Amino acid sequence: RLELRCERDGAGAELRLDAHPALSVSRAALLPPPGGPGDAAGQALPVESRPFASYGSALHIGLPQPPRAGQLLTLLIDYEAGEGPGVCWLTPEQTAGKQKPYMYTQGQAVLNRSFFPCFDTPSVKFTYSATVKVPEGFTAVMSATSWEKQKDNTFVFKMSQPIPSYLIALVVGDIVSAEVGPRSRVWAEPCLIEAAKKEYDGVIEEFLAVGEKLFGPYVWGRYDILFMPPSFPFGGMENPCLTFVTPCLLAGDRSLVDVIIHEISHSWFGNLVTNATWGEFWLNEGFTMYAQRRISTEVYGLPYTCLEAATGRALLRQHMDTTGEDHPLNKLRVVIEPGFCLFLGVNPDDTYNETPYEKGYCFVSYLAHLVGDQSKFDAFLQAYVNRFKFQSITADDTLEFFLEYFPELKEKGVDSIPGQCGAILAREPCFADQHPPVSEPLCPRWTLCMFVCFTGDAAAASPGSNGGGLALASWDQALAQAWARLLPSLSAAVPRVQCHCSIPCPVPLLHALSGQGQGDAGGVVLGVGSSWDSTPWSCGLGCNSPLSPQGKQKYTLPLYRAMWGGSEAARALAMETFSATAPQLHVNVQNYVKKILGLGVAE
């Protein structure tokens, strides 16, 4: 049921909604006003599905007459959602418990049109309510500010704050919860709940409190985390009130809890202040990366944050080298038009890469550099959130507010500085074609870089002593997190680590990494890239490997690429592993792996 208000006259007698061929619409009707005359079942309306783009269709609904400005309309649409890209149906084998099926929805970027007919654009925000009846033995949860369980295993949800369509999320499965803070709980399958509680008990509140100090009140009420089944292909999804995360974050030593800082930061940047179009996805992710690193600095200190940011910059450089500086999707402002998408196959989901995250972060850092005072820029971020909360905005809105907030910068002419960043502030058509000229301070991160290099050198000196005495589990939390962040960059430098110095990537170090049991993909890629032949590939390529219990594509795809580009033994192991674990993977990840291995991919 859609409750709509006509914004202006001249809208015409037709409503167009985003939909998907996987939706089967049986009826549309215009309901009478509450308490007014008319058939309670409503007036039947003509409805037709028409092609729109590669990622969806357009649902055309005829109205009796053009509505007047300010007129309220209530439409009822009867439909079924099948196997669309935004509605994921998992078999018991794809869950952690292996006992019951599971379903979840994933809306970002334009997938919720296969869940329900809607205005599937971040430029439109709305409140919602839902009533969900599920079989006995199952629980339903949604991204909602309130929920209650009624009789007959029926759950009622309400989101009282306006959100864009992509943030509506539903999960139905064999899940339970445990409190981990005054306004937080963890959700997971029963076999994972104790590990989730132990890992995150008391952690989330600290991150939320620092975020509130920096960016203003947390407006969403509760902040819960749902640990998804192992086949969940993403690291996290910032659904308000209920963040979805990969079970890979259950490391057992709290070394990965900081990953949740990114999702918490979306509570202000993305969920509260939202990019109006997916062509400016950096407004969500660039500001979130900056907010994440501000919180990390407060919690873990500047050296850790600088190393983490330097690693992110290296990943951006690697991405640019692979795809090309001039690739259209490597700009901060990406041109996305329906006709363009329809004929050339460009999908808003394709904007998901390192560019909006790390190049976006560089640009927000550049704005902070122009201000020159961290406390003043922090105050700007609070004012920015307060000014645009519950709105969807463009980059022009952001930059105009920035110059309005700092008139002294406007007077200095920063909006006309020659070069790329000046072009951004002047809002010229050529928007961020190159990296913003921002680099992190070297001195704080050098301490941790030297520690990592020294540790590797010590391991190389004592090959017979279990990695030269290297005991990753004994590192303090910040160093463990920094190491986890550094591994992807090291894998690009095999067989030598490049961290302002050049040292061998020693086999004992790889053995030490493999012995931690955390299944970090970076260590495995290092091993494959270094042609490390350990039988049975104890760094994680066997039956008990990171490829076996999890389906996160950020781990899975680099591992398969590394194996397929390695020795004959590695290629054979890739085929063997995929054959054994494919049913546990999300269908999209299965198809990505098939492409890597040169196997046929079904449409």
Binding-site annotation, residues for Zn(2+): 262, 266, 285
Which residue ranges make up the annotated binding site for a peptide?
106-108, 233-238, 552-554
Q: Which residues contact 325 (CB under 8 A, 6 or more apart)?
A: 433, 434
- DSSP assigned state of 33: P
Q: Is 475 helix (H, G, I), strand (E, B) or coil?
A: coil
Selected catalytic residue, list 102, 200, 223, 263: 263
**Segment 461-468 long-range contacts (CB within 8 Å, at least 24 positions apart):** 462/508, 463/506, 463/507, 463/508, 465/508, 466/508, 466/511, 466/512, 466/515, 467/508, 467/509, 467/511, 467/512, 467/515, 468/506, 468/508, 468/509
Q: Which residues contact 522 (CB under 8 A, 6 or more apart)?
A: 484, 486, 487, 488, 490, 491
First to last CA, the chain: 32
Report whether 394 contacts 281 (CB < 8 A). no
Torsion, Cα 444 450 455 456, to 10 degrees, reads 130
Helices (H), 475-586: 477-491, 507-514, 521-529, 553-564, 568-581
Q: How far apart are CA 357 and CA 262, in angstroms?
A: 11
Q: How far apart are CA 117 and CA 166, in angstroms?
A: 12
Closest CA to 387 of 487, 465, 272, 275: 272
Selected catalytic residue, list 104, 357, 555, 592: 357
Q: How far apart are CA 593 and CA 562, in angstroms?
A: 12
Closest CA to 191 of 203, 168, 175: 175
Q: Which helix (H) or strand (E) holds 271?
A: none
Whether 263 is catalytic is: yes
- Could you tell me if residue 386 is left (phi over 0), alpha (psi between -120 and 50 degrees) or otherwise beta? alpha
Report whether 305 contacts 479 (CB < 8 A). no
Q: Determine whether 13 is exposed, middle or buried from the number of CB atoms within 10 Å of its CB (0-12, 13-18, 19+).
A: exposed
Q: How far apart are CA 545 and CA 536, in angstroms?
A: 10
Query: Phi and psi of 159, rounded to 5°?
Result: -105, 110
Count of alpha carbons within 13 angstroms of residue 552, beta-carbon side: 21
Query: Phi and psi of 540, rounded to 5°?
Result: 130, 20
Which residue ranges make up the annotated binding site?
106-108, 233-238, 262, 266, 285, 552-554
Closest CA to 176 of 137, 220, 121, 123: 137
Give the 3-state secondary structure of 151-165: HHHEEEEEEEEEEEH
Q: How far apart are CA 121 and CA 124, in angstroms?
A: 6
Angle made by CA atoms 168, 172, 175, in degrees to the nearest 5: 115
Q: How far apart are CA 423 and CA 421, in angstroms?
A: 5
List residues bridging with 132 in a β-sheet: 155
Q: How far apart are CA 244 and CA 171, in angstroms?
A: 10
Closest CA to 559 of 599, 507, 515, 524: 524
Query: Which residue numbers are catalytic?
Result: 263, 357
